[in-house]
Chains A and B, each alone.
Chain A
């Protein structure tokens, strides 16, 4: 049975994929459905949802279209989540591969640096980094990656330690391959599957961290973010709770979707590797 068929037989994985597809559709269609600036005033302030069909989810305290902000927020969440996870996985697997393959002093130094990063809570690190350097999308991505690369680094190192004893690594040395070429061409690609298996958790965590930073006012101020929307709505939580509830639900569904779809992919590919 093909991996795709196995994936489709898992209802939770399919649900996750549908949620994720909806998120991607929102992110991609935002500039077409809402060509203007999502942060521009679109109508009367604090319009409740389902009253005016040109503004289906109503407006916030400043009269901004909540639905438009929600769509543009999906772009931010997805971009930051994927970019931060990709950066964390890339840094982690390179550091882990170098540490595991080189051994000795290099391993010792790299792993103590990893320890140092791991002792500081990831969110605190991101918070400190953004407040020092200043909020912008790229900085938020780096800040989140700084706190999450240690996990992939440890997994990659453990995998590399077992792979470097294999015969094909000895074979590559015998034909005179450079140690760096052996590490990155022969060892790293074979160490990746368990590292990539962590990506769904990392993407979900990165989306939540981005929302938390935005909630604290440390997101990119020029972009609509779900965390920023929740923070906005907090001031009028008693009179207009929908302003916080709507982006909150979007955030929960997104994290759930990423996690379920990611787990589904990991499980189906793990079965395939087990069989071969």
Chain B
């Protein structure tokens, strides 16, 4: 059974009397423990889809089924409770955290809100989460702006896995990191997926990263699906014009091809 099924999802914006479809009749699905990548140039609707799936914005049409339930039908407390299973990691880890918070408070929030651990037990759980993402437990009292970008993205991942989700949306989660740190974070994500069977909706414009982490890929252009299929097949031999353009724009891929 599919973990997430998105069908005929549409989101339109009105700008200056004209209606633009940011996401136009998109359908896809994700299976448990699978990584589906959404790739495409800027303005192709990748991030809008991420925000629609997370119910941060509401669609104009379409259905989202998550873990066998109609996700769009939920509201209020039921929706907040369900959010534990569907988490997100943002592109810019500095913007994604309250600038006043500490590492401990960021990890405490999900544990407290979803009643995962009693107050007395939480410091231990926070330390365990930090260790799980490869950070030292003594990082907990530090302010979020005092730690490095790579550490911050690890904290973001720790926060996302705190509620034991079945799906994590990664919106350009490694795009702002430098290359060496990016490799380590991708390793961590693959490791978590192997052990916890977490599925990823991986949003990126970088086909090199997509090829390394995704099982399947959906290429988007102007809010519509241009091409989809097995990640390596699509990236090694793109059929659509936008697919060819994206591959051509990533010179590393051309070099490594035999």
Contact = CB atoms under 8 A, between A and B. Distances in A.
B117 interface: no
A174 B88 contact: yes
Given A167-B90, A170-B56, A171-B88, A176 B99 contact: no
Contact of B109 (A177, A189, A190): A177
A8 to B, nearest CB: 27
B124 interface: no
Interface residues on B, range: 20 to 34
Nearest to A173: B56
B233 interface: no
Nearest to A174: B88
Contacts of B86: 174
B100 A190 contact: yes
Contact of A167 (B54, B95, B159): B95
Given A176-B113, A186-B98, A171 B90 contact: yes
B95 A176 contact: no
Given A166-B95, A168-B96, A174 B113 contact: no
Interface in A163-203: 166-168, 170-178, 186, 189-190
A178 B79 CA distance: 11
Contacts of A175: 83-84, 87, 109-110, 113, 159, 163
Contacts, number: 57
Nearest to B159: A175
Interface in B109-147: 109-110, 113-114
Given A172-B109, A173-B56, A176-B113, 13 more contacts: A167-B90, A167-B92, A168-B97, A168-B99, A170-B51, A170-B90, A171-B90, A174-B56, A174-B83, A175-B110, A175-B113, A176-B84, A177-B109
Nearest to B93: A167
A213 to B, nearest CB: 39
Nearest to B95: A167
Interface of A: 166-168, 170-178, 186, 189-190
Contacts of B114: 176
Secondary structure call for the A interface: helix
Contacts of A186: 98
Most chain B CB atoms below 10 A, which of A170, A174, A176, A177: A174
Interface of B: 51, 54, 56, 80-81, 83-84, 86-88, 90, 92, 95-100, 109-110, 113-114, 159, 163
Given A168-B98, A190-B98, A174 B81 contact: no
Contacts of A167: 90, 92, 95-96
Nearest to B88: A174
A176 B80 contact: yes
Nearest to B111: A175
Most chain B CB atoms below 10 A, which of A170, A172, A176: A176
A178 B109 contact: no
Contacts of A190: 98-100
26 contacts: A166-B95, A167-B92, A167-B95, A168-B98, A170-B54, A170-B56, A170-B90, A170-B96, A172-B109, A173-B56, A174-B54, A174-B56, A174-B83, A175-B84, A175-B87, A175-B109, A175-B110, A175-B113, A175-B159, A175-B163, A176-B80, A176-B84, A177-B80, A177-B113, A186-B98, A189-B100
